Amino acid sequence: MKPVRTLIAIATLAAFGAGAAQAATLAEIQKAGVFRVGTEGTYPPFTYHDASGNLTGFDVDIARAIAAKLGVKVEFLEGRWDGLIAGIDADRYDAVINEVGITDARKKKYDFSEPYIASKAALIVRSDDDTIKSFADLKGKTAAQSLSSNFGQIAKDNGADLIGTDGFAQSIALVIQHRADATVNDSLSYLDFKKHKPNAPVKLVATLPNADYSGVIIAKNQPKLLAAINTALDEMKADGTYLKISQKYFGEDVSK
């Protein structure tokens, strides 16, 4: 039989949850020589497996570059999005690098690095269409949109009639097929699309000024680790590493 004190300790741990594991410090990460990064591996072009089965993507390359700046190797631990951030609480990862948007709600529980990528609402039309040059020109036009998305709401607010779709690929297809006049969508998704299909007959005519930013997310109260990650990101931008990665996946600088 276990001692009563042990049973009480186990009961107390269960009552408060086992997610209070102590996050590794920068010194511990560098001593171990490994930077553990949580990622999906199913979200191209950010984190996915190539035809050979190798993990690759924009965020994957960013993580590898950060680890190199920290002087350690990176270990990727893949998981589903809905449980990814919780892996930080359980000390499964030292960080999650997976296009995690920086929000006030998340900042209450976790710390974020400085933003390393920006996404804007982009207005996309056919290449031969000169009637839509701004969001205001959507009035009376049709827009192919995921109906529950923020992008769909932007199109609707600007007077467009919405045609429901199940995502970016279908929205672009309807525009190309003349079944919709335009789509409001993620600027990063558009850049990735044009990188793979440069001759597709669509063009970006406008973006909204306000961007959504993503950052490296880590446990609270790790100031040295956070500072080291931010320094790594600054050095990557200064020495050209960031731009090289950005151009590889998007054809341009997507930091702002």
CATH classification at residue 145: 3.40.190.10
Q: Is residue 256 domain-resident?
A: no
**Domain coverage including residue 176:** 119-211
Percent of the chain whose pLDDT exceeds 70 = 92
Euclidean distance between the first and the last CA atom of the chain, given in angstroms as a whole number: 61
Q: Are residues 107 and 126 in the same domain?
A: no
Question: Do 100 and 85 contact (CB within 8 A), yes or no?
Answer: yes
* Structure confidence by residue, pLDDT tens digits, 78-90: 999 889 999 999 9
Q: Are residues 42 and 129 in the same domain?
A: no
Residue with tokens 């690929």: 169
Predicted TM-score (pTM) of the model is 0.83
Question: Do 200 and 206 contact (CB within 8 A), yes or no?
Answer: no
Average pLDDT score over residue span 114-120: 96
The span from the CA of 156 to the CA of 147, in Å, is 10
Answer yes or no: is pLDDT of 21 > 80.
no
Q: Are residues 8 and 99 in the same domain?
A: yes
Local confidence band at 228 (pLDDT 50, 70, 90 cut-offs):
very high
Q: Enumerate residues 6+ apart whose C-beta is below 8 A from 95.
A: 35, 36, 37, 38, 63, 88, 216, 217, 218, 229
Q: Are residues 198 and 222 in the same domain?
A: no
| Angle (CA) 238 241 244, round 5° | 120
Q: Are residues 12 and 124 in the same domain?
A: no
Average pLDDT score over residue span 225-241: 98
Q: Is residue 255 domain-resident?
A: no
Instruction: Produce one character per residue of 155-168: b if its CB has 16 or more CB atoms within 10 Å, e if not.
Output: bbebebebbebeeb
pLDDT value at position 19?
44
